[in-house]
Chain A
């Protein structure tokens, strides 16, 4: 599939401007690029409750040019599966002739905490849906509370920095690996700051006959604490430091899409963000060391998986 900006610029916009998301919001970029990737396909969009949904659908307005449904916080995957089954039925009965693709959006909380059960169920049942997690690593819509995907050491309003604790005490759960363990045909990690990577992955996912899942690291200027114009840079730094490897697993085969040369130290990513500011203090240096160690380990694991995919035992 050839993707260039010239072609993409002529693609129909599915998400219009004028919505109420923040300047520099990563979620808006994710939604727009994912739908641009769908191109001329007919799409029906589902969204979990969250920033993306509340800011784009304030009645009587909507930013969505496709049919869109939101019903609750934890059920985007179940909702999307209901649509897909209804579609299959109408298609079989000949009441619908057009092809429609189904895309669900959810934040990290709606996807991996409260929505994990619905997501797991939908993936296991094998619906042909694409689930995109716009992962900004905390409950941003309610005001930056820690989620299961908030990284170790990050400051949130429910994992604050205090006299005893220095932000989140626990490591984040690895949502992408959880999805890989579901043995679905396509799982990927992408990020804001590389339209080509995200669009390619979405297009690949939409061609797959079965469930697909993309976990997109989505910087949040408000929750992460940086100027709005830095969204793209921060996303890229996450990949360049291997804090957030861009990789995909297609039918069980790993491929790391971006191998940073050189691999930057994690501090390059951390120091730009208010949520990690406290880690720069002399007495918290050990936390950065732990983060680095963890990132190195996971990077090694991924490279090993990729090696095993290329050269099976």
Chain B
């Protein structure tokens, strides 16, 4: 057990990218393999300067592609060291094959992912299309609302990955977080190093006294069990994530859960959202609450594993819910977060909340407080509408 120590940090003004690089400096992984891509480039730029100046002893592999970034990170992790990478958008798409291999081989890699739209049309701005595409790849996905959360999530991710033996992706919204400067608290180096501890792999390839084969061919007789183990590890991971959040809070005084509730407990109308847009939802709530409207928010922090059994308890009493997805699924049905929320509710027999889906903010399209207020307004109408004539799938701030 890590003893709480006096480590209350320093207040700084940093962008999401800068603070991610700062977290990586403090973590000082053994190996970082990365490839530049907007808007994540800055992270590895800043970090490689740390390497160049000898501030960190990390070995930096300037690979020739994201596919090789993930491949080299996988190999380094398998070799027995703490390995990290970062990417965005098309880069994550290019890694896609390797994402499943990282989780299938149970390697505790941490990746910083700056959310960006995916082509075509090419667009460099923030939405969740990239990481949502990887939602079933066996990576734990943790999203951040602001610069502080980016920093805190990256530090916690190291422990989460190493305890669960699953790779962890820490996401932040492109430009909105990655390039916007905010006030944040950073902790002292030693406290962070103590929190993450020294990496001690249980089995590693460079242990030449105990050689083994990693990445075998599984036929019909083993593949199913091995993939089941990944799924099991994922479904057990929430407990570990909560435990680590608790330890983190004890030491650093910042509280985290699988999701954040904002004025939700007595709410009749709720919004569920991921990432930076939660900020304006909170602002809208404050305004509407002053008019005695019972509105609340559930902001998903840990999207994978999806906190199914936790979330339903906090949603059962809500009368109308809007799930806001910063991604469209092109499935002909609903977007990912909506599908997860509704199936979680329905599977537990909770069918009272009326749940609708909003698609917003693709390619960095703005969403403002008026949009959020209009969503609560719609939810209110749904509540009063006995005929149940309302759209299940809605688009906000879109020219049709």
- A binding-site residues for B, Cβ under 8 Å: 42, 44, 46, 53-54, 57-60, 62, 64-72, 74-75, 77-83, 85-90, 92-93, 96, 98, 100, 117-118, 120-122, 124-125
Contact = CB atoms under 8 A, between A and B. Distances in A.
Given A59-B217, A67-B206, A90 B71 contact: no
14 contacts: A44-B205, A59-B217, A67-B207, A67-B212, A71-B215, A72-B71, A75-B68, A77-B68, A78-B75, A82-B31, A82-B72, A86-B76, A90-B79, A118-B65
Interface stretch (B19-27, B56-64, B363-371, B372-380): B56-64
Of A69, A81, A85, A92, chain B has the most CB atoms within 10 Å of the CB of A85
A83 B222 contact: no
A120 B65 CA distance: 11
Interface of B: 30-31, 33, 57, 59, 61-65, 67-68, 71-76, 78-81, 83, 97-98, 101, 105, 205-208, 211-219, 222
Nearest to A80: B75
Given A57-B216, A58-B216, 18 more contacts: A67-B208, A67-B213, A68-B213, A69-B215, A70-B214, A71-B101, A71-B215, A75-B68, A78-B63, A82-B83, A83-B205, A86-B75, A88-B59, A90-B80, A118-B65, A120-B64, A121-B64, A121-B65
A242 to B, nearest CB: 34
Given A54-B217, A62-B216, A71-B215, A82 B74 contact: yes
Given A75-B67, A90-B30, A118-B68, A66 B218 contact: no
Given A58-B219, A69-B214, A90-B81, A96 B75 contact: no
B63 A121 contact: yes
A87 B208 CA distance: 11
B110 to A, nearest CB: 15
Contacts of B206: 44, 67, 83, 86-87, 90, 96, 100
Contacts of A81: 61, 63, 68, 72, 75
Contacts of B217: 53-54, 57-59
A136 to B, nearest CB: 19
Given A70-B215, A90-B80, A83 B75 contact: yes
Contacts of B57: 89, 92-93
Contacts of B64: 117-118, 120-121, 124
A72 B33 contact: no
B216 A72 contact: no
A60 B98 CA distance: 22
A189 B332 CA distance: 54
Nearest to B60: A85
A54 B194 CA distance: 42
B71 A79 contact: yes
Contact of B31 (A69, A74, A86, A100): A86
B15 to A, nearest CB: 28
B323 to A, nearest CB: 35
B205 A82 contact: no
A75 B98 contact: yes
A87 B98 contact: no
A88 B205 CA distance: 14
Contact of B98 (A62, A71, A83, A93): A71
Of B64, B73, B98, chain A has the most CB atoms within 10 Å of the CB of B64
B62 A82 contact: no
A62 B63 CA distance: 30
Contacts of B215: 57, 68-71
Nearest to B101: A71
A23 to B, nearest CB: 20
B205 A69 contact: yes
B75 A46 contact: yes
A94 to B, nearest CB: 12
Contacts of B79: 44, 82-83, 86-87, 90
Of A82, A96, A121, chain B has the most CB atoms within 10 Å of the CB of A82
Nearest to A60: B222
Of A70, A83, A117, chain B has the most CB atoms within 10 Å of the CB of A83
Contact of B80 (A86, A120, A121): A86
Contacts of A75: 67-68, 71, 98
A257 B64 CA distance: 34
A85 B31 CA distance: 7
Of B75, B98, B219, chain A has the most CB atoms within 10 Å of the CB of B75
B72 A85 contact: yes
| Top 9 closest pairs, chain A to chain B, by CB | A82-B75, A121-B64, A82-B72, A86-B79, A78-B68, A70-B215, A75-B71, A62-B213, A78-B71
Given A86-B30, A86-B79, A68 B214 contact: yes
Contact of B74 (A57, A71, A93): A71
Nearest to B72: A82
B120 to A, nearest CB: 22
B216 A66 contact: no
B30 A82 contact: no
